[in-house]
Amino acid sequence: MSTATAEHHDHDDHHGPAKGWTRWLYTTNHKDIGTLYLLFSLVMFFIGGGMALIIRAELFQPGLQMVDPLFFNSMTTMHALVMIFGVVMPAFVGLANWMIPMMIGGPDMALPRLNNWSFWIMPFAFLLLLSTLFMEGGGPAGGWTLYAPLSLQGGDNLAFVIFAIHFMGISSVMGSINIVATIFNMRAPGMTLMKMPLFVWTWLITAYLLIAVIPVLAGAVTMLLTDRYFGTSFFSAAGGGDPVMFQHIFWFFGHPEVYILILPAFGIISSIIPTFARKPLFGYASMVYATASIAFLSFIVWAHHMFTVGMPLAGEMFFMFATMMISVPTGVKVFNWIATMWRGSMTFETPMLFAIGFLVMFTIGGLSGLMLAITPADIQYHDTYFVVAHFHYVLVPGAIYSIMAATYYWMPKWTGNMYDEKWGKIHFWVSTVFLNVLFFPMHFVGLAGMPRRIPDYSMQFADWNAVATIGAFGFGFSQLIFVYVVLKCMKGGEKATTEVWEGADGLEWTVPSPAPYHTFETPPPIR
Amino acid sequence: MSESDSNDTSTTLGIRKAHLTLSGKLCLLGIGMFGFGYLMVPLYDIICDITGLNGKTSSVAVSAPRSDGAAVDRLVTVEFVSVVNSSAAWSFKPTKTSMQVVPGRSYTASYEVVNLNGRPAVGQAVPSVAPSSAAKYFNKIECFCFTSQEFDTGGRKEMPLVFFIEEDLPRSIDTVTLSYTYFDTGEPVAVSLSDS
């Protein structure tokens, strides 16, 4: 037991990774699969980003210049599907694969072969989804929410989209089952639940959310499929169905989904801020309870996406207050992070910059979310660019920044090399400036009434749209710096120490850098 | 070494069993939630039926009102609205766009439909009442929306509707809008949709 560190070297020799490209195809190693997920996510990030740039290029000026409206609509639809299901979710699953076994002192994921399947389904799902762009009639263009009856009136791409969603769903649910099983069964002796790092906690709760709501989405899209091809009338009023019901079922999935996209981010930020503030996390237990409360509340707020469908007053009041209640546990988290930094001896390496950027800008997105929660105000904001500004502020400097922070934070452990700090910082500052140039003006045009998902707009929105487009191209191309830093770090650089960061705390910092192929085959002692 | 090996095997088996039990339970949860998605369909209908939340009126005919509305001292405006679903060509209009009614008394209104599809067709009207809280006070004694209608090419029909508004309609509501959307349900093949 006491020779835990010595033993790592033994394991290192006797069973390393297989040779050749089949290593990646057949691998059941959590680190390999984590790497695959992260690389997949990076590739999809550029595909989804390219789509966003097409959208912004068209919106640079009023009028129709670049693309025809149908293609524009399929770009908004695909951009959302790719970014949600192809970038943020796989990146979090990749981080979970890499870090959770190391953080809880387990040798690998609980169900390694299932893990291989979960990943390898993804490329096929996205092949199905992206192939629709090259089909007659183009890709899906009714919005990522696939609202009936609009989505039922498009071409046969719907069938491809639905099966792609089924595949992604199966992948996510299998991944989640694996993560829950890992956390419950693979912890080192002494690693009690309330000693787990917050990243593990937030992922445990996220995994439960995924298992609970992804099947509901699967049900909803299956109903669309049978409505379109097999003559059922779930959402067709002519046959006794109700299109509004689709929105209820969809958002019953959709709202927990937005917390699926942000809870692991909370876990990442809770790991990074204590390291660079050199203080333990303030209010650990309250963080756990806040995460659980957010997860619970996420199930009872879905209809705030539908304030304009004609709900009765009582329903609007309920969903308004329930939504506002979410800001209480979220506020607890924000204050805990600030309290962690309070009087800490802080340094500002790249991961910390991204974490602080997250804290500031995610809060901006959270506050505009509160504005949207106010029913009478939402009727004005609904389907305008204000909503676009809101969810991009919580997803880009929220989810995406947390993933980048995590990459900079753990990359030395993954590769054994320090990344280039100078370029990391440049990446942060350039991204942050352009990101605000991109998304902040959307608040203004949104409040002035510019509708979302429309390729043209009236003249008075022209200036701010031009500004946003400049920001979009700046932000998009500055992500090439990220690729440069990652590739450079994979190739070499200053060797990382075992601990990597001076103030780092956690089991992942007790194994050598780069982390050996197999870690903790013998459980480490837990303090 | 052999001792620890056998020890390893037994713990490995134990862990494997724990994995299987837990993932089995989680799979059941997933399958259950898939079912719950479908359960939301009848649940939605039941909730809407009880509360009238989505403006759905009752899909069954009721008998004539118990009172003749003599004791009622107010008038309610009923507006008639027609919508043709975009998927087909119909002319569909109310013969009168609004009328003043006394709650508790029954009235007759009608809609006129012309089949402009250029082929024989079957149509079905789906009603909705606004404000939705008035839906459960709006009763139909007879309605063309209870069945579908068959038309020859260019066929024309005047379709009656006999309704009354209950006396306990909240005083805050003085206008009730009845909207029908007319759907094309295909060529005539002896189908009858008796749903609302």
From chain A residues 177-196, the ones with a CB under 8 A of any chain B CB are: 177-178, 180-181, 184-186
How far is B146 from chain A, CA to nearest CA, in Å? 11
> Minimal Cα–Cα distance from B125 to chain A, Å?
7
Number of structural domains found in chain B: 2
Same domain, B85 and B170: yes
pLDDT given at position B143 = 86
Contact yes or no for A310 and B132 at CB 8 A: yes
Task: With respect to residue B177, please indicate whether it lies within any of the assigned structural domains.
Answer: yes
| Active site residues per annotation of A | 79, 108, 144, 171-172, 255, 257, 259, 270, 304-305, 330, 333, 452
Identify which of B35, B184, B196 has the shortest CB distance to residue A240. Answer: B196
For B25, the token pair is 């339970």
- B124 to chain A, any CB pair closer than 8 A? The answer is yes
Chain segment A89-119, per-residue pLDDT in tens: 999 999 999 999 999 999 999 999 999 999 9
Give the nearest partner residue to B36 out of A177, A216, A248, using CB atoms: A216
Report how far residue A48's alpha carbon sits from residue A82's, in angstroms, rounded to the nearest whole number: 6
Structural domain includes residue B57: no
Whether B114 and B179 share a structural domain: yes
Q: Is B13 on the interface with A (CB under 8 A)?
A: no
Chain B contact present for A303, CB below 8 A: no
Residue A4 confidence (pLDDT) above 70: no
Q: What is the pTM of this model?
A: 0.89
Q: What percent of chain A has pLDDT over 90?
A: 88
Interface of B with A in 60-99 (CB under 8 A): 85
Q: Is B163 part of any domain?
A: yes
- Where residue A312 falls among pLDDT bands split at 50, 70, 90? confident
User: Based on the domain organization, do B95 and B180 belong to the same domain?
Assistant: yes
Note whether residue B56 is domain-resident: no
Q: Where are the beta strands (DSSP E) in B56-186?
A: 76-84, 90-94, 98-101, 106-115, 121-130, 138-143, 149-151, 156-165, 175-184
Does residue B68 form part of some domain?
no
* Test the A interface: residue of B1, B16, B17, B19 with most A CBs within 10 Å: B19
Instruction: Output the pLDDT for position A18.
Output: 83
Q: What does the pLDDT read at residue B3?
A: 41
3-state SS of A125-137 is HHHHHHHHHHCCC
Residues of A with CB below 8 A from B183's CB?
236-238
A20 and chain B: CB distance < 8 Å anywhere? no
Do residues B86 and B171 share a domain?
yes
Q: Quick one: B83 and B170 in the same domain? A: yes
Asked if B30 and B82 sit in the same domain, the reply is no
Residues B80 and B164 in one domain: yes
- Residue of chain A with shortest Cα separation from B20: A181
Cα–Cα distance, A150 to A461 (Å, whole number): 27
CB pairs below 8 Å between A and B: how many? Answer: 105
Cβ partners under 8 Å of residue A510, min gap 6 = A4, A5, A498, A524
State whether B36 and B2 are in the same domain: yes
Decide if A111 and B19 are in contact by the 8 Å CB cutoff. yes
Are B123 and B180 found together in one domain?
yes
Q: Three-class SS of residue B158? A: strand
Residues B95 and B165 in one domain: yes
Cβ atoms of B169 and B159 closer than 8 Å: no
Query: Residue B52's pLDDT is what?
Result: 63
Instruction: Report CB contact under 8 Å: B34, A242.
Output: no
User: For chain A, how big is the Rg over CA atoms in Å?
Assistant: 23
Look at residue B128 and tell me whether its pLDDT is greater than 80: yes
Per residue, the 3-state secondary structure of A280-342, as one string, reads CCCCHHHHHHHHHHHHHHHHHCHHHHHHHHCCCHHHHHHHHHHHHHCHHHHHHHHHHHHHHHC
Domain range for B22: 1-51
Asked if residue A30 has pLDDT above 90, the reply is yes
User: Looking at residue B114, which CATH number applies to its domain?
Assistant: 2.60.370.10
- The answer on B163 and B103 residing in a single domain is yes
- CB of A265 closer than 8 Å to CB of A294: no
Note whether residue B71 is domain-resident. no
Give the pLDDT of residue B88.
Answer: 74
Find chain B residues with C-beta within 8 A of A310's C-beta. 54-55, 130, 132
User: In Å, how far is A463's CA from the nearest CA of chain B?
Assistant: 37
CB contact under 8 A, B185 and A238: yes
**Is A401 in CB contact (< 8 Å) with chain B?**
no
DSSP A174: H
Average pLDDT over residues A150-166: 92
pLDDT at A140 over 90: yes
* 3-class state of residue B59 by DSSP: coil
Kindly state whether residue B190 falls inside one of the protein's structural domains: no
What average pLDDT does this structure show over A39-61? 97
Claim to verify: residue B146 and residue B111 sit in the same structural domain: yes
**Boundary (domain end) residue, out of B35, B51, B67:** B51
Of A175-184, A266-275, A501-510, B77-86, the poorest mean pLDDT is in: B77-86
Cβ of B19 and A213 within 8 Å? Answer: no
pLDDT at A347 over 90: yes
Would the CB atoms of A311 and B51 count as touching at under 8 Å?
no
Does residue B96 fall inside a structural domain? yes
B residues 153-182 lying closer than 8 A (beta carbon) to A: 181
* Letter string b/e over residues A297-312, b meaning 16 or more CB atoms within 10 A of that residue's CB: bbeebbbbbbbeebbe
